[in-house]
Structure 1
Amino acid sequence: MPSPTTDRMEFHQPFQAADILKALNDMRGFKVLTDVILAVEEEEFHCHRAVLAASSPYFTAMFAGNLRESRAERIKMEGIPSDTMQLHLDYAYTGRVTITRDNVFQLFETSDLLQVLPVKDACLTFLERILDVSNCIEIRKLAEIHSCDSLFRKARDLARSRFSKVIKTEEFLQLPKQYLVDYLSDDELNTENEEEIYKAIIRWIKFDREGRSQDLDQLIELVRLPFVTPEYLISKIALDPLVYNSDGCVQQIYEARAFQISGTYRRAVKTRQRRPRKCNCVEVMVVVCGEKKTFKGSSKAREVPYYDPVHQRWRALGPVPSKDLQVSSAVSTGYDIYITGGLVNDKARKDAMCYVSYLNVWKPIASMLHPRYHHGAAVLDGKVYVIGGYDGQRCLEDVERYDPDNDKWERLAPLVHAVKCPAVAAYDGRIYVFGGFYDGYNISRQLQCYDPHTNSWSVVESNMIDYTCAHAVRLDNRIYLLGGSSKTVKAYDPSDDSIVRVADMNIKRDNCGVSVVGGKIYVSGGVTESNGPALDCIECYDPRKDEWTFGGHKLPCQLYRHGFVTVQMYKEDIHAGQT
Structure 2
Amino acid sequence: MDTSILQYKEIIDPSFAYQLTNGIHRLKKKAVFCDVTIDVAGQKFPCHKVVLASISNYFEAMFTNPMAESKSAEIEMKDMEPLVFETILDFIYSGKCKVSIENAQAVMNAANMLQILALIKICAKYIAENLTVQNCFHIWQFADAIDCRELMQRSMHFSLENFLQVASPLVASLSKVNLIQFISSDSLNIQSEDSVAQIALQWIAAEPERKTDAVEVLSHVRFSLLSSRYLMTLMDNEIMRNNGDIMKLLRQAQLFQSDPTMYFELPYPQASPRHSLKRREYVLLLSTTNDGASFSRQTSQLGNLNWTSGQTKHQGFRDAAICSSAVNSEVFVSGGKDNPERLIMYKAELGLQCEKELATMLTGRQNHTMVIIGGCLHIIGGLERQVYSRSSQQNNGIVSKIEVYNIQQNKWRPAGNLLTGVWQHASVSFQDKVYTFGGTTDISGSLNDATNKVQIYSSQTGECVLGPEIPAAISKCTATVMEESIFIIGLEVEIKPLPNSEEHEEEQDDDEEVYEENRVFYQFKPLDGVWIKLNPPTNVTNSALCTFHGKIWNIVVGSETKVYSYNLLSDVWESNSEDPEDADESNNLPNSVKCMQITY
Matched residue SS, 1:373: strand
In 2, the alpha carbon distance for the partners of 1:230 and 1:367 equals: 39
In 2, the alpha carbon distance for the partners of 1:382 and 1:104 equals: 51
2:400 corresponding residue in structure 1: none
Which amino acid letter does the alignment assign opposite residue 271 of structure 1? Answer: Y
1:553 corresponding residue in structure 2: none
How far off is 1:115 after superposition?
2.5
1:394 corresponding residue in structure 2: 516
How far off is 1:215 after superposition?
3.1
8 Å CA contact 2:544, 2:594 repeated in 1: no
**CA 1:419 to 1:565, structure 2 compared with 1: closer, same or farther past 3 Å?**
closer
Which amino acid letter does the alignment assign opposite residue 36 of structure 2? Answer: D
User: Is 1:510 matched up with 2:594?
Assistant: no
8 Å CA contact 2:196, 2:221 repeated in 1: yes
In 2, the alpha carbon distance for the partners of 1:90 and 1:405 equals: 70
Q: Give per-residue Cα distances to partners, 1:264-300, cap 9 Å, x unaligned.
A: 99xx9743334443544454759339872356x747x
How far off is 1:105 after superposition?
2.9
1:191 corresponding residue in structure 2: 190
User: Is 1:98 matched up with 2:98?
Assistant: yes
How far off is 1:229 after superposition?
3.0
In 2, the alpha carbon distance for the partners of 1:383 and 1:78 equals: 58
8 Å CA contact 1:378, 1:431 repeated in 2: no
- Show the 5 A alignment for 1:458-473: 466-467=583-584
1:556 corresponding residue in structure 2: none
In 1, the alpha carbon distance for the partners of 2:104 and 2:481 equals: 43
8 Å CA contact 1:378, 1:424 repeated in 2: yes
8 Å CA contact 2:542, 2:593 repeated in 1: no
In 2, the alpha carbon distance for the partners of 1:264 and 1:565 equals: 12
- Show the 5 A alignment for 1:120-269: 120-141=120-141, 151-166=151-166, 168=167, 171-206=170-205, 208-210=206-208, 212-235=210-233, 237-240=234-237, 243=240, 253=250, 256-257=253-254, 260=257
8 Å CA contact 1:258, 1:264 repeated in 2: no
User: Is 1:318 matched up with 2:318?
Assistant: no
2:19 corresponding residue in structure 1: 15
Which amino acid letter does the alignment assign opposite residue 178 of structure 1? Answer: V
Matched residue SS, 1:124: helix
- Show the 5 A alignment for 1:72-87: 72=72, 75=75, 77=77, 83-87=83-87
User: Is 1:343 matched up with 2:401?
Assistant: no
In 2, the alpha carbon distance for the partners of 1:212 and 1:462 equals: 48
How far off is 1:175 after superposition?
1.9
8 Å CA contact 1:423, 1:467 repeated in 2: no
- What is the number of equivalent residue pairs in this alignment? 444
**CA 1:450 to 1:222, structure 2 compared with 1: closer, same or farther past 3 Å?**
closer
Q: Give per-residue Cα distances to partners, 1:536-576, cap 9 Å, x unaligned.
A: xxxxxxxxxxxxxxxxxxxxxxxxx362423236xxxxxxx
How far off is 1:227 after superposition?
2.9
In 1, the alpha carbon distance for the partners of 2:456 and 2:68 equals: 66
2:299 corresponding residue in structure 1: none
How far off is 1:52 after superposition?
1.8
Which amino acid letter does the alignment assign opposite residue 563 of structure 1? Answer: K
Matched residue SS, 1:216: helix
Larger Rg: 2
In 2, the alpha carbon distance for the partners of 1:424 and 1:251 equals: 27
8 Å CA contact 1:446, 1:462 repeated in 2: no
In 1, the alpha carbon distance for the partners of 2:30 and 2:140 equals: 39
Which amino acid letter does the alignment assign opposite residue 389 of structure 1? Answer: L
User: Is 1:420 matched up with 2:538?
Assistant: no
User: Is 1:272 matched up with 2:352?
Assistant: no
1:566 corresponding residue in structure 2: 597
2:28 corresponding residue in structure 1: 24
Matched residue SS, 2:542: coil
8 Å CA contact 2:490, 2:519 repeated in 1: yes
> Mean Cα displacement is larger for which, 223-232 or 70-79?
70-79
8 Å CA contact 1:290, 1:563 repeated in 2: no
How far off is 1:231 after superposition?
2.6
- Show the 5 A alignment for 1:425-440: none
- Show the 5 A alignment for 1:406-555: 410-413=532-535, 420-421=541-542, 452=567, 466-467=583-584, 485-486=587-588, 510-511=590-591
**CA 1:122 to 1:246, structure 2 compared with 1: closer, same or farther past 3 Å?**
same
**CA 1:174 to 1:298, structure 2 compared with 1: closer, same or farther past 3 Å?**
same
In 1, the alpha carbon distance for the partners of 2:527 and 2:26 equals: 66
- Show the 5 A alignment for 1:42-61: 47-61=47-61
How far off is 1:201 after superposition?
2.0
8 Å CA contact 1:329, 1:342 repeated in 2: yes
Which of 347, 354, 357 matches 1:307? 347
In 2, the alpha carbon distance for the partners of 1:140 and 1:421 equals: 47
8 Å CA contact 2:345, 2:355 repeated in 1: no
8 Å CA contact 1:291, 1:562 repeated in 2: no
8 Å CA contact 1:173, 1:204 repeated in 2: yes
How far off is 1:64 after superposition?
0.8
In 2, the alpha carbon distance for the partners of 1:404 and 1:122 equals: 58
8 Å CA contact 1:69, 1:75 repeated in 2: yes
How far off is 1:63 after superposition?
1.5
In 2, the alpha carbon distance for the partners of 1:79 and 1:386 equals: 60
Which amino acid letter does the alignment assign opposite residue 343 of structure 1? Answer: G
**CA 1:45 to 1:23, structure 2 compared with 1: closer, same or farther past 3 Å?**
closer
**CA 1:156 to 1:389, structure 2 compared with 1: closer, same or farther past 3 Å?**
farther
**CA 1:90 to 1:195, structure 2 compared with 1: closer, same or farther past 3 Å?**
same
8 Å CA contact 1:434, 1:467 repeated in 2: no
Which amino acid letter does the alignment assign opposite residue 20 of structure 1? Answer: I
**CA 1:411 to 1:231, structure 2 compared with 1: closer, same or farther past 3 Å?**
same
Matched residue SS, 1:201: helix
2:335 corresponding residue in structure 1: 292
Percent of residue pairs identical: 19
> Mean Cα displacement is larger for which, 129-138 or 73-82?
73-82
**CA 1:328 to 1:47, structure 2 compared with 1: closer, same or farther past 3 Å?**
farther
Which amino acid letter does the alignment assign opposite residue 376 of structure 2? Answer: G
**CA 1:34 to 1:331, structure 2 compared with 1: closer, same or farther past 3 Å?**
farther
8 Å CA contact 2:137, 2:155 repeated in 1: yes
Q: Give per-residue Cα distances to partners, 1:412-446, cap 9 Å, x unaligned.
A: 44567x7633588999999888698xxxxxxx999
1:515 corresponding residue in structure 2: none
Which amino acid letter does the alignment assign opposite residue 115 of structure 2? Answer: Q
RMSD: 5.6
In 1, the alpha carbon distance for the partners of 2:344 and 2:454 equals: 18
In 2, the alpha carbon distance for the partners of 1:353 and 1:157 equals: 47
2:406 corresponding residue in structure 1: none
How far off is 1:343 after superposition?
1.9
**CA 1:186 to 1:93, structure 2 compared with 1: closer, same or farther past 3 Å?**
same
Matched residue SS, 1:192: coil
Q: Give per-residue Cα distances to partners, 1:286-318, cap 9 Å, x unaligned.
A: 9339872356x747x9x7956353796669853
How far off is 1:204 after superposition?
3.2
In 1, the alpha carbon distance for the partners of 2:467 and 2:89 equals: 65
Q: Give per-residue Cα distances to partners, 1:155-176, cap 9 Å, x unaligned.
A: 444434444324x465434322
Q: Give per-residue Cα distances to partners, 1:91-146, cap 9 Å, x unaligned.
A: 22333222222333333343234321221221232133223444444455555666
Q: What is the TM-score when the length of structure 2 is the normalising length?
A: 0.56
Which amino acid letter does the alignment assign opposite residue 35 of structure 1? Answer: V
Which amino acid letter does the alignment assign opposite residue 198 of structure 2? Answer: K
How far off is 1:194 after superposition?
1.9
2:369 corresponding residue in structure 1: none
In 2, the alpha carbon distance for the partners of 1:72 and 1:246 equals: 63
Which amino acid letter does the alignment assign opposite residue 108 of structure 2? Answer: F
